[in-house]
Amino acid sequence: MKLIIKFFAEVTIKSPQVRKRFVSQLRKNLKVLLKAIDPDVRISGNWDSLEVITGDDPALQTALLARLRNTPGINHIHEVREYPLGTLDELAELCVERFTDQLAGKTFAVRCKRVGHHPFTSNDVNREIGSRLMLTGVPAGVSLRDPQVVVQLEIRQQRVFLIQARHEGLGGFPLGTMEPVLSLMSGGFDSTVASYQMLQRGVLPHFVFFNLGGRAHELGVRQVAHYLWEKYAASHRLRFISVPFEGVVAEILQNVDNSQMGVVLKRMMLRAASRIAHRYGYHALVTGEAIAQVSSQTLPNLAAIDQVCDMLVLRPLITTSKTEIIRTARRIGTEAFSSSMPEYCGVISVSPDIHTNVRKVEAAETGFDFSVLDAAVEQATSTDCCDLELELEGSQVETVEQALAGQVVLDIRHPDEEELKPLELEGVEVLKVPFYQLNSRFAELDPARAYLLYCEKGVMSRLHAQYLLDRGHDNVRVLRLPKG
């Protein structure tokens, strides 16, 4: 099978020097990607297009096409048959032989592209082939504006390519043509789509994840990052950097004014991310923020957040609606991951300030112990996406719907949430242990008793129960009360 790869339109309008560099990078990327599927694949071409030649194994052909469709820098792919160029009459007969069966009762148009010097024009080719096909009596007629079938061919010097099928590509610039960045990844819709859009522009987004929920939380985000790398960026090595942030959240919840918590958390994340980016030589940070989507994303709040960062912050979704973001996630295959990802920001402001300023935020941060942030950055771990573990080994969390006599229910909700909707269980002991204190206080509890973790949606309780199980506490379960 022979494939002709057509470049993204913006590549073709670059200066000759830049275009040559972009095409060279795409060719390098394809060698890495395609040879992993078919070691015997051949790639040629440079300026105008690339040609890929592979064997006749249908499974390999399907895998190659799937990889090409998801490779940044490719506008579309043509499946072609190649023939030597003879006379115009011979070319017309060849098209009659190859296309007549497709035209029965249908309108058609002939479209030819040429590269090289020939004794005829592209319009000459279109007219000659169209006339011969009409003489067969098979087509319903010619329709240049809205044909049911398009007979496409390319003439390059002394070669003819009859196009059998067209496959749309990802577009964008080849990966590696732009500088690497660090993308703040939560695994939800916004950060995932923002990272994808950077990939589509030829930017390598390494991922940084601020862990608020232990190993189980990290697993879900790892799966999203690995999916993006494997499907769209496997030609390069991308890092997944995990920063333990539970201590930072606990410090914010205990020492920062409630109205400023969301903005302060984002500022702490940017502080940490910028230090990590400098450590690895990344050129910018990427977030999934969009104007006014949540309280911390108003223009005044975003300005206050950016004030702590000494590098460029890119927000590709800044004016994108949530509906469009979810639509993109569905198209690129990440919707299932993101829809099951917990909204685990950890900081729940009852009355968030949507028009803050640097002075108020800095005042709110005066009680924050920045050694906690320093420790989190120092404890960050880095793993190549290709080496990420994607399965959670060990015991799984058991869920129950009723607390039994002698068991203790640990209400791990934020105090503000607990106060708005108190948990009342008749005949059952309930302890209020906010999630940000759970890991430190659990060791003080009686190990002979059984503990049921409770939160409103059951997400945070599962994550923290799994964390405690991982630490060897086998007396932990999750309480999920029946609705109503």
Residue ranges and CATH numbers for the domains of the chain are 2-168 (3.30.2130.30), 180-384 (3.40.50.620), 390-479 (3.40.250.10)
**pLDDT tens digits for 386-429?**
998 876 555 578 889 888 888 999 998 877 677 778 888 888 89
> What is the spatial distance between Cα 169 and Cα 166, in angstroms, rounded to a whole number?
10
Question: Model's pTM, two decimal places?
Answer: 0.81
Which DSSP letter does residue 87 get? -
How many other CB atoms are there within 10 angstroms of residue 62's CB atom?
A: 11
Spell out, as residue ranges, where the chain has pLDDT lower than 50: 346
Is 472 labelled a binding residue? no
* pLDDT for the residue 343: 58
Residues 6+ apart with CB under 8 A from 343: 188, 459
Alpha helices, H only, 201-286: 214-232, 246-255, 261-280
3-state DSSP: the chain helix, strand, coil percent, rounded to 5? 45, 20, 35
Are 137 and 100 in contact, with CB atoms under 8 Å apart?
A: no
> What is the spatial distance between Cα 445 and Cα 457, in angstroms, rounded to a whole number?
24
Residues comprising the chain, all counted? 484
- DSSP H/E element including 285: strand 284-286
* pLDDT for the residue 389: 80
Give the chain's largest Cα–Cα span. 96
- DSSP H/E element including 160: strand 159-171
Q: Which residues are catalytic?
A: 455
- DSSP H/E element including 167: strand 159-171
State both tokens at 87: 């006379």
In degrees and rounded to multiples of 5, residue 327 shows phi and psi of -60, -40
Name which of 148, 87, 98 is nearest 120 in CA terms.
87
* pLDDT for the residue 346: 46
Separation in Å, CA 390 to CA 222, 224, 317, 385, 396? 7, 10, 28, 10, 15
Helix (H, G, I), strand (E, B) or coil at 312: strand
Is 55 labelled a binding residue? no
Place of tokens 């229910």: 409
> What is the spatial distance between Cα 3 and Cα 61, in angstroms, rounded to a whole number?
10
Is 14 labelled a binding residue? no
In degrees and rounded to multiples of 5, residue 239 shows phi and psi of -90, 145
* Burial degree of 428 (CB within 10 A; 0-12, 13-18, 19+): middle
* pLDDT for the residue 212: 81
> What is the spatial distance between Cα 143 and Cα 103, in angstroms, rounded to a whole number?
12
Is 297 labelled a binding residue? yes
* pLDDT for the residue 455: 84
Strands (E), 330-407: 381-384, 399-400
C-alpha torsion angle, residues 79, 84, 85, 86 (rounded to 10):
-140
Is 185 labelled a binding residue? yes
